[in-house]
Chain A
Amino acid sequence: MNPLLAVESITAGYGATIVLEDVSLTLDEGSACAILGRNGVGKTTLMSTIMGQTTLHRGTLGFAGKDITGRPPYQRARGGIGFVPQEREIFPSLTVEENLTVAMRPGVWRLAGVYDFFPRLAERRSNMGNQLSGGEQQMLAIGRALMGNPRLLLMDEPLEGLAPVIVDMLLTSMHRLRREAGLTILLVEQHAERALDLAETALILDRGKIVYDGDSATLLREPERLAALIGVGRAVKRI
């Protein structure tokens, strides 16, 4: 079976500045991959490059059997890539409902479905985008990505800065998205154990290059190796 996403030896960055060097990865439909690494190693850049928001210097991107290298971001989104950005980027002067409907594309995910998935958003539907808590914003950012009916969901640190109870709730939602909706997920996450728990494969970046590409389980069994690779001592304690 062809992979859903095929990133082949891309070198990318912002203008002349190169952030990622010779990075490759493939994702099969229905799978999930965690991208780990210290701050500033290029995790977000990898996400943005898949979405087409950076300068691609070399390499190719394939999605659902098509070459999407050089395609503008909106065509990638329409092709089935959903992106939940780190900053959430809710439109402040649209209501919750308008934030969702503005991203609507035909498919199984509709307004009612998103409200079912995040009942909190249904309660908040007439609130303006700037009148939401951090957790609600994150639900809305995910809901908005779902409204585009993606096959692949890119999530950039969706749990960052949220209260533990919201983190648990969102993690449950993300597991449901995989299990019930069969979404393919690419997840950037600071907390290694959460990400490795959700995704069966992992990719560790360091200074723009891949230093680990393999099973999550292997990493979970070898916490010292994981700690060395992502360069965070506390990861050992957490696991």
Chain B
Amino acid sequence: MTAAARLPQPPAVRAVLTRHRLRPIEALPWVCAIAVYYAFPDYLALGGQILVMTLFVLSLDLVLGYAGIVTLGHAAFFGTGAYVAGILAVRGWAEPLSGLVAAGAAAGIVGFLTGLVVLRTRGLTLLMVTLVVTQMLQEAANKLGWLTGGADGLQGITIPPVLGLFRFDMFGRTAYLYGLAALFIGWVVARTIVHSPFGRSLTGIRENVTRMQAIGSPVFRRKLAVYVVSAALAGIAGAVLTQTTQFVGLQVLGFEMSAVVIIMLILGGIGRLYGAFIGAPLYMIAQDQLAKDDPANWLFWIGLFLLLVVLFARGGVLGLADRILPRLRKGGDGG
């Protein structure tokens, strides 16, 4: 009786396995990132910020795209990481790599503590509670001027060379590669999580919480776990921003930051790991260009673009590609 089950196994198992294996297309973002480094040396400052935002969006995708936690307060963790890295540097612990780790850990702890409360809610309540958490942190950063620099921002951050070798230069070369390295590590972490059984259970939680509970999944603990990991990644993104720009302002904890990161994710495509790699560059390059060409109305154009995506390209750019690519292939076959 086992023969029947064994027969179709080898090809089918391979099919399942290939979903997890690295596909050649997955090298594309990294090839592009390195190409940009050589092709556009004048744009590396912008490029570095895009890499930071990509990591931030990637971290949001874990909670929003995979676990279905619709949060309006992800800037809380980005900002925590940014401030912790900045404060450490100002207070004499300027070594960047350990600063990143500390910032990630601090954001993870904030994620754990707030997650204990926030993740007990859902829907509109969750939206509001996450918003409140971020606003409270921003207000705290505003009031604690002696520590954070308050509304003026934290100044006087100087970061020594990475590993004692690579100085942060004024052209943003080191910053770009530093951000790229952080993004790469974040991507490895996120990708591993997404393809693990834990990641599968997150998809299950997003699609049907009741069912996941009924098959024995401790939903709250799973959500908390991914929330902490995501918070830590967001914190690292914030810390990279601080270390590479040598400045932190209150906007890192702002509502706008939380909103923009969601917009980037929607533009790229939610719940597919690579939405971040499309949405963040697309938004920031569009913003950069539009701000130059039409400084008065650039936000209008971004809004219009978002409207079009929501109306005609559900699933973002990657969703659109999903629908167009098969048609192109079919067209090529003459059908």
Contacts and interface: CB of A to CB of B under 8 A. Distances in A.
B207 A93 contact: yes
Given A91-B204, A123-B8, A77 B215 contact: yes
B200 interface: yes
A103 B213 CA distance: 10
A125 B9 CA distance: 9
B56 to A, nearest CB: 24
Given A97-B16, A116-B5, A125-B16, A77 B204 contact: no
A126 B12 contact: yes
Interface stretch (B81-89, B140-148, B216-224): B216-224
A112 B200 contact: no
Interface in A58-104: 72-74, 77-78, 82-83, 85, 89, 91-95, 97-98, 101-104
A53 interface: yes
B80 interface: no
A112 B12 CA distance: 13
A102 B217 CA distance: 9
A105 interface: yes
A53 B5 contact: no
Nearest to A147: B215
Interface residues on A, range: 35 or more
B92 interface: no
Interface in B177-229: 197, 200-201, 203-204, 207-208, 210-219
Contacts, number: 84
Contact of A89 (B4, B208, B217): B208
B216 A148 contact: yes
B297 interface: no
B200 A83 contact: no
Interface in B1-32: 1-2, 4-5, 8-9, 12, 15-16, 19
A145 interface: yes
A78 B216 contact: yes
A95 B16 contact: yes
A54 to B, nearest CB: 11
A56 B177 CA distance: 57
B5 A93 contact: no
B208 A91 contact: yes
Contacts of B213: 52-53, 72-74, 77
Interface string A112-124: 1001100100110
Given A95-B16, A125-B16, A53 B210 contact: yes
Given A102-B215, A123-B8, A148-B215, 11 more contacts: A53-B213, A53-B214, A73-B210, A83-B215, A89-B208, A91-B207, A94-B200, A102-B200, A102-B217, A119-B5, A122-B9
Interface of A: 51-53, 72-74, 77-78, 82-83, 85, 89, 91-95, 97-98, 101-105, 112, 115-116, 119, 122-123, 125-126, 144-145, 147-148
